[in-house]
Amino acid sequence: MNRKNIEKIDELRKKHNVIILAHNYQLPEIQDIADFLGDSLDLAIKATKTDAENIIFCGVDFMAESTKILNPDKNVIHPDIEAECPMANTVNPNELLKLKNSTPDAEVVSYINTTAETKAISDICCTSANGRKVVESLSSKKIIFVPDKNLGAYIQRHVKDKELTIWPGVCPTHHRIRKEEILRIKKMHPDAEILVHPECRPEVIDISDYALSTNGMVNYVKKSDANGFIIGTEKELCYRLKNENPDKIFYPIKKAICPNMKKITFEKVLNSLESLEPKVELPEELMEKAKVPLKKMMDIGRGD
């Protein structure tokens, strides 16, 4: 990357008191300039611990929204507001409210990959790092889980004493990862460990060594004695894994690309650093309601 541009980023970041938070699926050019890289849970936690007045969030909309909800008094800037998570948009809040009202003895658990409107009618949120721990912590036997059917099925297989009613949403990027592709790579590299995200299909999880959140994978790889890893999640995580473990080998799934994560580019971040726009704006009342399930989730912490 052009050294002048990096210097410009550093100068503006200091001048405007900005912290750049970025998700593990961001392009290498964004990972290289981030102050903090993480999964959804660690990014939400980090966002509540910064003194910076302005947060530039490099990721998709629900992540930037969660950052704003947790920091209503700060400027949260999302360099491309069209970077949306299609799975988050599969939940119709009115339909969810109907389901909730028709099952008064159930608690609603929403994956953090949801809109602020969905969070506002949920009892608690979760991420891929603590879904099982969150569901286990609840007193109700009946749970309404939105929106990822693969993550819901993964939680249900581990938490036998709860009955999950699961929304039929999927992440197109993870649903595209097929068992046959992983087995094909495994055949070529039989000693490689298979790590997959719990948003993958159940039959993909079945053939894996571990199902983990993205930071769960980052933490696992550091302590594993294995030398090679087949990474069943969005392929850009491999850039971070390789940077942090230069002696280890990572086999990505080439088709596993989230096009929305790729909408955030170096140029757009530079523009945002100059203008401190576009800002995430949400109605105050909505933020207050959506903050409750997010805070409850954060009190539970990581489970992986």
Q: Which residues bind ligand SF4 (CB under 6 A)?
A: 60, 85-87, 113, 171, 173-174, 234, 258, 260-261
61 binds ligand 13P (CB under 6 A): no
Paired sense of beta strands 106-111 and 54-58, if any: unpaired
- What, of ligand 13P, ligand SF4, none, does residue 86 touch, CB below 5 to 8 Å by kind? ligand SF4
| 214 interface partner picked from ligand SF4, ligand 13P, none, CB below 5 to 8 A per type | ligand 13P
Question: How distant is the alpha carbon of residue 254 from its chain centre?
Answer: 19
Among 16, 31, 39, 185, binds ligand 13P (CB under 6 A): 39
**What character string, x for contact with ligand 13P (CB under 6 A) and - otherwise, covers 204-243?**
---------xx-----------------------------
Distance (Å) of CA 196 to CA 112, 220, 256: 19, 12, 12
Question: CB of residue 201 vs ligand 13P: minimum separation in angstroms?
Answer: 14
Alpha helices, H only, the chain: 3-15, 28-31, 40-47, 61-70, 93-102, 116-120, 131-137, 149-158, 172-175, 179-188, 202-206, 214-223, 237-244, 266-275, 284-300
Nearer to ligand SF4 (CB atom), residue 54 or residue 113 = 113
Which of 18, 58 has the CB closer to ligand SF4?
58
**67, 75, 128, 272: residue in contact with ligand 13P (rule CB under 6 A):** 128
List all residues 6 or more positions away from 287 whose beta carbon is below 8 Å from its beta carbon.
Answer: 68, 69, 72, 116
Count of Cβ atoms closer than 10 Å to residue 209 Cβ: 15
- In angstroms, give the least distance from the CB of 245 to ligand SF4: 22
Q: Which residues on neighbouring strands pair with residue 169, listed in sequence order?
A: 148
By three-state DSSP, how is residue 146 classified?
strand
The residues in 129-148 that bind ligand 13P, with binding defined as CB under 6 A, are none
The rounded distance, in Å, linking the Cα atoms of 12 and 206 is 47
| Contact partner, 39, from ligand 13P, ligand SF4, none, Cβ < 5-8 Å per class | ligand 13P
